[in-house]
Amino acid sequence: MANPTPDTHSVSRTFRAAIRLGEDFVTLEETITLPIDASDEVVQQAVDLGWRIYTAQREAVTQQVATIREAQGHPGAMSIRDPDAPASEKQRNYIAALQEDLSWNNEQLSTYADEQQVDLVTMTKGQASTFIDSLKKVAEERQRYSVEQNRPRSDQPASDKQLSALARLAHLRGIDLDAETTQRFGVLSSVLTDEQARILLSEWQAKRK
């Protein structure tokens, strides 16, 4: 097997999840790196694979979280030791980490804390715990929104890269692309949707292997 060269192209996808166990916090991270060629069709294939990787990573992390929580037991309600004591250094560090994940500056964090009626200077352990939960909820909602916004819709037009890849594959296979898309989907290739282009690319790339 040939050794990879330093300029080998690759795509990395990382899925990260933070969970709280009592007063401790654990971060789980899964990273997959996929080497790819530079051609448009392979790049498109890598993009499609990226979504499958994301789904697999999310399921794997969910299972890991469930396993860790099962090992820790299932207390009826989480209790904070000395909830009226000053917030711990660990809690403050975790708040700082969440602030970084959200890309918030200190003013934005302070504004949000004011909205939650939390004084970042004098907050107690109990208040810090509740504040951390609210920050995590904001981060999770932002992540879900980002994923949904970036996920290609089935009715959006095919991209130029998809159409170029289809044209190249059709040429290699000796196929009239417009005739094929008209027969399959009732439209010319120029007006294919993202989903239709993905279907053809997936089928034709599989047949080349």
pLDDT in tens, 136-187: 888 887 777 666 555 555 578 888 888 998 999 888 888 899 988 888 888 8
Radius of gyration of the chain (CA): 24
Is it the case that residue 31 has pLDDT exceeding 90? no
Question: What's the N-to-C CA distance of the chain in angstroms?
Answer: 19
Kindly report the pTM of this predicted structure: 0.41
Give the pLDDT band of residue 46 (cuts 50, 70, 90).
Answer: low
Percent of the chain with pLDDT over 90: 20
Angle among Cα 142, 16, 95 to the nearest 5 degrees reads: 65
pLDDT range class, residue 79, cuts 50, 70, 90: low
CA distance 78 to 129: 10
13 vs 187 pLDDT, higher one: 187
Provide the β-strand partners of residue 30. 15
pLDDT of residue 106: 92
